Amino acid sequence: MMAKTLFKDFPELKFIIPHGGGAAPYHWGRFRGLSDMLGLQPLSEFIKDHIYFDTCVYHQEGIDLLVDVIPTENILFASEMVGAVRGIDPQTGHYFDDTKRYIDACKLDDAGKRKVFSGNVRQVFSRLDKRLQEVGLLSGQI
């Protein structure tokens, strides 16, 4: 994905990387370095309208790293309730895959949390508001 012309050639192309980007937040410095070495724009600009990360991360520390490293505008709420790990975490007493509570507890302010929970996905999937209105799940102006 780190090609100089990928998003110029395909300006509408979007990627959603599941599970908080996997190792991506841990290697953000590596990706920033590659972007610099390849003469690309800064990484936060490179991913801005094209690469998104979901919140299917099953512990608070992972979500905290995600929101520390990835720009808020590039994080999309996702949950696997009931997902791959259906049990209750003995350390917390909560379901492992209840990802909403991790966003609720992270350092983002209310505006950032609204972006993660709904605002960002409505930007990525620009036809969503219209469809939600059609089925009565969204009222008012778009």
Q: Which of 11, 15, 35, 31 is nearest to 23 (CA)?
A: 31
CA atoms within 13 A on the CB side of 128: 9
Q: What is the pTM of this model?
A: 0.90
103, two tokens: 């966003």
Using the structure block, give the residue that is written with the tokens 């992270």.
Answer: 106
> Residue 15 — φ and ψ, nearest 5°?
-120, 140
Q: Catalytic site residue 80?
A: yes
Active site residue: 61, 73, 80, 134, which one? Answer: 80
pLDDT (tens place) for every residue of the chain, 142 residues total: 667 788 889 999 999 999 999 999 999 999 999 889 988 888 888 899 999 999 999 899 999 999 999 999 999 999 887 667 888 999 999 988 889 999 999 999 999 999 999 999 999 998 999 999 999 988 765 5
Distance separating alpha carbons of residues 109 and 111, to the nearest angstrom = 6
Q: What pLDDT score does 140 carry?
A: 66
